Amino acid sequence: MCGVLGIMSHGAVNQELYDGLQMLQHRGQDAAGILTTDGSVFHSHKGQGLVRDVFRTRNMRDLLGNFGIAHVRYPTAGHKNSEITEEAQPFYVNSPFGISLAHNGNLINVDSLMQNIVNNDLRHINTSSDSELLLNVFAHELENQVFGVILTKENIFNAVSCVHNRVRGAYAVVAMIAGYGMVAFRDPFGIRPLILGERKNQDGTIDYCVASESLALTHLDFQIVRDLKPGEAIFIDFDGNFHAYDCKKSTQLVPCLFEYVYFSRPDSVVNGVSVYQARLDMGTILAEKIQQEITEPIDVVMPVPDTSRPIALQLAQHLNIPYREGLIKNRYIGRTFIMPGQAVRKRSVKHKLSPVEVEFKDKNVLLVDDSIVRGTTSREIVDMARMSGAKKVFMASAAPEVRYPNVYGIDMPSKEELIANNRTVSEIAEEIGVDGLVFQNLDDLVGVIKNLNPQINDLDTSCFDGRYITGGINFD
């Protein structure tokens, strides 16, 4: 689950790309990169780590130009060793024209694509990243469209259409073509988010921005225009002309449900849905299920920070139970769910959260989390609660049981890592050490999102029910 950003401006974009990436930092902490251009020459810098650590003043000075794309990386496909820098994005190929690309998502037909690219298209892939593979597919299809030396918007849109025909999976893409302009496109199911904004300057000119989440746009004073449609591509040339085209005729809007449960920031609007409002509504319906399933008295409701705060707050109000902040988060520790590797993840939980013992002592505590995936964090937190004097510890998850791998860009690569795999709810409760456990109902959770935007056709719920919208996935 990475973050992508692209800006076309009538002024320098280096600082705006940096600021925008910081707004998307929650989507990836493994690596960051920025590429800018003044038309024909690309300037780039990327590296491992947080945005603030990758870029120094000397790096920013070299990022010249009014167009640029940027990326924060969360490792899914490819290497996860934090010392490997080759897979930081944006990626670059020099033919045709010179193309750089940044990608959020995950491809599912990597093996067949790799064989085709290497053996038939005769292109070299230097890493195991599916994003580099996607770049080379796009570059090859663009090359097939060009006759002579002039590239047209029709060529670009035809190339994207060919990409849709060859590639399967989730992808939200921003790309730069040297000498021509910026391209952005989204997979035919719209699994990964991509939103367009514009900003009118005093002289009447218009700047454009595309980003994974709306808060990056609003932070940079862009007005939200709309989400890119599934299968749609946009092209903004270096003269500032904007073009859009539906590059896939048969599409559905089937966004990832985990965007609303966990990944997106609460101050974002994703596919026309306020993430904050969605989480409040999750709290309401979760409260109704808790009333049915937990019969013992609950003294206090506590969120597992940060994502579950609005969920827990609404839940507590609905149940008329005091809401308390009993777990204090160290803001300098990253999100444990998206850390590369189970050992690092487990070690980070105790560093990340500290209990306020007075809020636990001699109380029946209901802990509210957005989801329970591997169970590592949940076990640690329950232990903290008991050591702090809690009489009983209950837990509620705003998401259903995660029973299947996610193949569209979330690091859930195997069933064996998932605590709900081949376990009942009571067995999961025993495994994490709680006195009672409640999971959200999937239909209710889907209903929350679709009620906020009825234009959403369906939601990607594959990690909950094993239903993969793109097909071609079988873990039996």
Label residue 441 exposed, middle or buried (CB < 10 Å: 0-12, 13-18, 19+): middle
Are 31 and 131 in contact, with CB atoms under 8 Å apart? no
CA–CA dist 292, 267 (Å, integer): 31
Instruction: State the DSSP H helix or E strand holding residue 243, giving kind and residue range, or none if neither.
Output: strand 242-246
Residue whose token pair is 């199911």: 189
Nearest-10 crossing angle of helices 376-387, 425-432 = 60
Determine how β-strand 242-246 pairs with β-strand 392-397: unpaired
CA–CA dist 418, 430 (Å, integer): 15
Q: Taking the alpha carbons of 152, 154, 156, 158 in that order, is the dihedral positive or negative?
A: negative
CA–CA dist 171, 189 (Å, integer): 9
C-alpha angle 392-393-396 in degrees, rounded to nearest 5 = 145
What are the phi and psi torsion angles at 216 (to 5°)? -65, -40
**256 classed as catalytic:** no
Write the CB contacts of 320 (distance below 8 Å, at least 6 apart in sequence).
none
Residue whose token pair is 């636990």: 360
Residue whose token pair is 């910026």: 182
Label residue 25 exposed, middle or buried (CB < 10 Å: 0-12, 13-18, 19+): middle
User: Which residues are identified as catalytic?
Assistant: 2
